[in-house]
A and B are shown apart, each in its own frame.
Chain A
Amino acid sequence: MSDFSYKQPSNVQLNKGHKHTDDFITKKYILPMLRDPQKLKSLIEEHRATPIGRAATRDHSVIQHSQDLQTLLDKLRRGSKENGFVTICLKLHEDYRIGITTGVRGEPVEITEDSYSSEEACEHAIFLKRVNRLLEEYSGE
């Protein structure tokens, strides 16, 4: 069988370019924020208060995330669908759950037990899980 296994796969074959560059960006720009307790606390509070944003009105300009929070969210959102998060709406406007995707087409989304009363509450819960997961992923570095 010529499965090319007689030789060590190259990093091109393993498609490491994106991963290694993303690692650099994460270590340089993301982890320092998350490892600063005060900064982390302020990012979490900002996201809790406004998980998605608020439209501009006659009373205030558009409310959007700070540059630091946006940089963090961009990193979290460009993650793989493998073991990824989605929001599941089990009952409109009442019951939202965290769903876990496998990244494989056709495989069921795991629906977790905790119920959230709004999309925004579930969005924030997923944010917290992602931040913790990112810190764990790079805990040895």
Chain B
Amino acid sequence: MLKITGYSDKYSAHPGEEIKFYINAENNDKFDVQLVRLIHGDTNPEGPGYKEEEISASCNGTYEGKNQRIHGGSYIVVPQHDNLNIESFTMQAYIFPTTPDKGRQGILTKFNEQDKKGFGLFVDDNGCLSVEIGDGSQVTTISSEKKLLRKVWYLVIATFDAKSRRLTLHQEPRVTSTNGGLGMAILNPIEETSAIIETTSSVIPAPNDSPVLIAATSLHNRSGRKISGGHFKEVLEPIELPEQTKTFNGKIDRPRLSNVALSKAEIESLASSYDECNTHIRSTVVAAWDFHANIGKSISSTKIVDTSPNNHHGFIINMPNRGMTGHNWTADEMVFHHKPEEYGAIHFHDDDIDDARWDVDFTLKVPENLKSGVYGARLRVDGREESEFEDYIPFCIKPPKGKATSKILFLLPTNSYMAYSNDNLGTNSVVAQLLAGKVPVLNPSDLYLNEHREYGLSTYSLHSDGHGVSISSRLRPILNMRPKYRHWLSPSLWQLNADLHLTDWLEEKGFEFDVLTDEDLEHEGVNLLNRYKVVLTGSHPEYSSEKYMDALESYQMQGGRCFYLGSDGFYWISEYHPDNSNITEVRKGEAGTRAWTSNPGEYNNAFDGKYGGMWRARGRIPSKVCGLTFTSYGFDVSSYYKREEDSFKPECSWIFEGIGADEVIGDFGLVGGGAAGLELDRYDLEFGTPHNAFYLARSQDHSNMMLQVNEEIHFAVRGYYGGGHENPMVRADMIYYKTPNNGAMFAPGSLAWCGSLSHNNYNNNVSKIMENTLKGFLKDGPLP
């Protein structure tokens, strides 16, 4: 099992800036830190091998390590206040449990699991609704003794009158034609899951120091970890978090807390709206949280509004999903901010995470003269470099602020790295080996993630309740974004480590280049790209924000020259949290190569309110910005290209200088044994490929594991159903086109392309095509 893991506070920094590092030494071991420049991350003995350069830095040295844990699972914290310590109460909420059988889960609690003081509404160990009252020595527990059903809305209520000691519990299904999304509309017999319990409790809740938690209960009332700033910009004074436990899976809508035992009619009135209640009811309300109260204007907000005058506002911790359909969703509106009152639900998950919130272990002040590139903080326990004893925290060092130090920019697709972070699919997904065409190969870090679900998931994963993961934070160790890491889906590498194939080649060929990230482009826009003559993408820039798309298009229009060096690029709409770009969101729509589909009415992003899913659905299909669109995928073996007639035209022949007319191109490489593989793109005149694009080459001879993407299959029919042996849509198209002001785009259309660059000591026809094109693009003046 891993001895060390870590993360940093940012992905990129200018010389002179600081990067903070947060480290978990699993067994409290000392650890060594060494700054390294990452050159080539592929350990395959058939290639150039692993390469890094040790760099002098003030942070290099040995540190005392300590174990640091992640408190995973989302919930709402409402800070402790004496007004919340009540004896009589009404707790009420609508709930939509998604794992009723997983065991005890907090719904609405002011309760400490250890000293048993307070009160709370729970799902109990038998999957039934329960209420608990504790005075520190005794606990009254009442269960509905009727099992809650998965994906059914319920109105749940517990009332207690401290004077009469009368305690009631209501579990009442509320099913409509639409409110369950893909859940049941016909629930029969309803009595199987309905309950009204009336009893007495000799125990009266003792006042405690616990915060009110929604979707969890308190293990420790205080954890020493605080929230403020960033996505908690509405926190006025830092709020100390509890350590939560027994987190709830599912949706909660309109929870309320009152200081008397209300009648059922009063509860129904309050469930609807605090403002519409009569004076008597309002005078009893301690807090009435409407999750939809602030989503119309500010859905990305982490603040939870108490609509009563008591101001017991809360905050969501670990980024559950907002903008979710509520108990009253009619499907009349599909956009949450058009009818927020029907989107009053938050979907909580026990494996959500927004920030590990670890203590800083060391800080790197980036030396002023350090050249831009991909770097890493190398961590080792006992000086050992085996994977269990070693971790790397990769980041990029940028050129000095506002400057370019090279003509070439490599744009590190960090947004896509985040989308794939900690996927756990090798152990979770039943289709993993069908996709990969082999049994998943897992590394020690994959095994560690399997047992540490608090490290969070990827946007290819399902939460433990089966709901798709749409939010990814980089403020946690991301163990599959490392040099040396071999990915279960690829025959070898994926994302960051695969992108080092390109930076290694640039170095070997003597091309100077700067490195910046997707996140930098988000903040600076096209002006950042315009400092460069040529921009290179990574091998799989699949996730892009609206600003990214704007910048990539504008750069080409303004004379920029691009290499789109991957496949399946610019595919998913992926937006940053407006107050913290360390966190991204993607909703997966009704089509596309994806691991899950958004539930009905939940297609719009919470972070910007706009329609989520595929860029093509918003009129920005990738072929409009790079000439190519994703066409097929298969992860067993790769293949080669052959030249097309356009490649001999005077406008294009310079790209193929030194390449024979009938030469097989790229029948070699470290990613599946060929330059065309894993994921392939094609041009499409119907989908906005620039009409004067040149068709340079085309891949062929793919295996039948290589299948067409689903978004273009309207009818599944033979002839266009299978793989490389029968489907002409299964191919990589290499294209080149010119843009206004002497701009240009070169795109070989394959995710495996860069894996072939180093073959035969970097002397091969893939390398030659790249070198010819890059040198041509670097020349001033019009292209041939």
Interface assignment of A35: CB less than 8 Å from any CB of chain B: no
Interface assignment of B456: CB less than 8 Å from any CB of chain A: no
B438 touches A52 (CB 8 A): yes
Of B427, B430, B704, which contacts A109 at CB under 8 A? B427
- In the complex, which range does the number of interface residues on chain A fall in? 35 or more
Within the complex, what minimum Cβ distance (angstroms) separates A72 from chain B?
13
In the complex, chain A residues whose CB is within 8 Å of the CB of B495 = none
A51 touches B667 (CB 8 A): no
A93 touches B440 (CB 8 A): no
Interface assignment of A32: CB less than 8 Å from any CB of chain B: no
Chain B 427-471 interface mask (CB, 8 Å, partner A; 1/0): 110110110011111111001001101000000000010000000
In the complex, chain B residues whose CB is within 8 Å of the CB of A81 = 427-428, 430
Within the complex, what minimum Cβ distance (angstroms) separates A139 from chain B?
24
Segment at the interface with B among A21-29, A37-45, A98-106: A98-106
A106 to B43, CA, bound (A): 29
Within the complex, what minimum Cβ distance (angstroms) separates A17 from chain B?
16
A76 to B437, CA, bound (A): 11
Given A52-B437, A52-B636, A90-B444, A62 contacting B701 (CB threshold 8 A)? yes
B637 touches A54 (CB 8 A): yes
In the complex, chain B residues whose CB is within 8 Å of the CB of A96 = 441
Within the complex, what minimum Cβ distance (angstroms) separates B278 from chain A?
36
Closest to B675 in A: A55
A106 touches B701 (CB 8 A): no
Closest to A3 in B: B147
Chain B 344-358 interface mask (CB, 8 Å, partner A; 1/0): 000000000000000
A108 touches B705 (CB 8 A): no
A61 touches B701 (CB 8 A): yes
A93 to B42, CA, bound (A): 11
In the complex, chain A residues whose CB is within 8 Å of the CB of B441 = 86-89, 96, 119
Interface assignment of A8: CB less than 8 Å from any CB of chain B: no
A3 to B148, CA, bound (A): 10
Of A55, A86, A93, A126, which contacts B426 at CB under 8 A? A86
B442 touches A86 (CB 8 A): yes
Within the complex, what minimum Cβ distance (angstroms) separates A80 from chain B?
7
B636 touches A53 (CB 8 A): yes
Interface assignment of B104: CB less than 8 Å from any CB of chain A: no
In the complex, chain A residues whose CB is within 8 Å of the CB of B90 = none
Within the complex, what minimum Cβ distance (angstroms) separates B624 from chain A?
32
Interface assignment of A114: CB less than 8 Å from any CB of chain B: no
Within the complex, what minimum Cβ distance (angstroms) separates A1 from chain B?
5
Within the complex, what minimum Cβ distance (angstroms) separates A18 from chain B?
11
Of A64, A105, A122, which contacts B636 at CB under 8 A? A64
A123 to B427, CA, bound (A): 16
A106 touches B450 (CB 8 A): yes
Within the complex, what minimum Cβ distance (angstroms) separates B387 from chain A?
8
A55 touches B667 (CB 8 A): yes
Interface assignment of B650: CB less than 8 Å from any CB of chain A: no
Most buried by A among B427, B443, B444, B639: B427
A28 to B316, CA, bound (A): 53
B704 touches A70 (CB 8 A): yes
Interface assignment of B386: CB less than 8 Å from any CB of chain A: yes
Interface assignment of A91: CB less than 8 Å from any CB of chain B: yes
B438 touches A51 (CB 8 A): yes
B192 touches A2 (CB 8 A): yes
B386 touches A91 (CB 8 A): yes
A92 touches B43 (CB 8 A): yes
Most buried by B among A62, A74, A78, A105: A62
Interface assignment of B685: CB less than 8 Å from any CB of chain A: no
Interface assignment of A14: CB less than 8 Å from any CB of chain B: no
B667 touches A123 (CB 8 A): no
A80 touches B430 (CB 8 A): yes
Chain B 262-294 interface mask (CB, 8 Å, partner A; 1/0): 000000000000000000000000000000000
A52 touches B637 (CB 8 A): yes
Of A51, A54, A87, which contacts B673 at CB under 8 A? A54
Interface assignment of B314: CB less than 8 Å from any CB of chain A: no
Within the complex, what minimum Cβ distance (angstroms) separates B116 from chain A?
24
A85 to B639, CA, bound (A): 28
Given A86-B426, A87-B441, A55 contacting B639 (CB threshold 8 A)? yes
Of A57, A108, A119, which contacts B667 at CB under 8 A? A57
Interface residues of A (CB under 8 A from B): 1-4, 51-58, 61-62, 64, 70, 74, 77-81, 85-93, 96, 99, 101, 105-109, 119, 122-123, 126
A-B contact pairs, 24 of them (CB 8 A): A1-B128, A1-B147, A3-B126, A4-B147, A52-B438, A53-B636, A53-B705, A55-B639, A55-B640, A55-B677, A56-B637, A56-B701, A57-B664, A57-B674, A58-B640, A62-B703, A64-B637, A81-B430, A86-B427, A87-B440, A89-B441, A105-B464, A108-B447, A109-B447
In the A-B complex, the 7 residue pairs with the closest CB atoms: A55-B673, A56-B701, A58-B664, A55-B637, A57-B667, A64-B703, A55-B674
Give 13 A-B pairs besides A53-B703, A89-B441, A89-B443 with Cβ atoms closer than 8 angstroms.
A2-B145, A52-B636, A53-B636, A55-B677, A57-B640, A62-B701, A62-B724, A77-B434, A87-B439, A87-B441, A90-B444, A109-B447, A123-B439
